[in-house]
Amino acid sequence: MPSLILRRLLTGLLTLFVVISLTFVLLRLMPGGPFDQDRKVPPAILANMQARYHLNEPLWKQYAIYVGGILHGDLGPSYKYKSRTVSDIVGEATATSAKLGFMALLVGGLAGIALGALAGLSRNRWVDGLLTLLGVASISTPLFIFGGLLVLVFSLTLNWLPAATLETPAHYILPVLSLSLMPFSYAFLLTRTSVRETRTRQYVLIKRSAGLSEGVIAVRHILRNSLMPLVSIMGPIAAAIITGSFAVEFIFAVPGLGRHFVTAVTNRDYTLVMGITIVYGVALILFNTFSDILYGLLDPRMRDEAKS
């Protein structure tokens, strides 16, 4: 298992290096620059601003300066928020997105597993059919459509819940419900399919013939073994949710990574885009590694593969 974790981390670091390099180059190739949307300034002042951020240097030198800063823990200054560093902005936004995402992952994941297990274990076609229709509809609905619908119904029409910001606990309800749609849909469909396959396995039939109750068989033998496919895919989903959904955070005016990323791309704020990309890459690597560890603990075959 330690060798497996080490291989995953080394592969992740290599992937992160490639992502940083590609993002750095592609941002410079995009039309426009970080100061194009500002009011017109004299050429001398514009040259000083570019020199301050090393934008007048050759591309390879800009890259070397930026990577050197990353190795020293410095993500650089923001081109638009001149009084704040990228580290400060990303740190605050990551805390907000992580808090919102964790709640959405918990709500969506638990609801998806519960309803997926109910649909997979149910012998009533109507129950299974209605729940499956719910799961297919949830995975087919874009988050920005679902979030906008929630605002329309619960904020504008019924006036039950606030539509934006995170000032009170009530402000969290609609963003959390919107973000939970993704983990709910994947958890539901994977759990339902896996439960329906597992309940016909030979060892389950043997346990049933031995006189074990259906509840014990469902929890200890069917559901437990059905969760392994879900574990393998929840890493990327958790990283995407916890680091922030761009559309949902923009709709609900949540000051998280997603909203900052949208505004940073619009403003050509190179360093802020790079900082958010690095946070997302690190989160994806860590969650994938954690998924592999958890999968290895649940599946003995992974431990045997790691030993060999």
C-alpha distance across the termini of the chain, in Å: 10
Give tens-digit pLDDT for 1-17: 677 677 877 888 898 89
Give tens-digit pLDDT for 59-80: 888 889 888 888 888 888 888 8
Residue 296 CB partners (closer than 8 Å, separation 6+): 1, 4, 302, 303, 306
- pLDDT top residue among 87 and 293: 87
CATH of 89-264, one of 1.10.3720.10, 1.10.730.10, 1.20.1250.20, 3.10.450.50: 1.10.3720.10
Please tell me the distance from the alpha carbon of residue 128 to that of residue 164, in angstroms, as a whole number: 36
What are the beta bridge partners of residue 77? Answer: 85
* pTM, entire model: 0.76
Give tens-digit pLDDT for 227-261: 777 777 777 777 777 765 778 888 888 888 888 88
Domain ranges of the chain: 89-264
* Residue 4: Cβ-neighbour burial (10 angstroms; 0-12, 13-18, 19+): middle
* 88 alpha-carbon distance from chain centroid: 21
Please tell me the distance from the alpha carbon of residue 76 to that of residue 69, in angstroms, as a whole number: 7
CB 291 within 8 A of CB 3: no
CB 46 within 8 A of CB 37: no
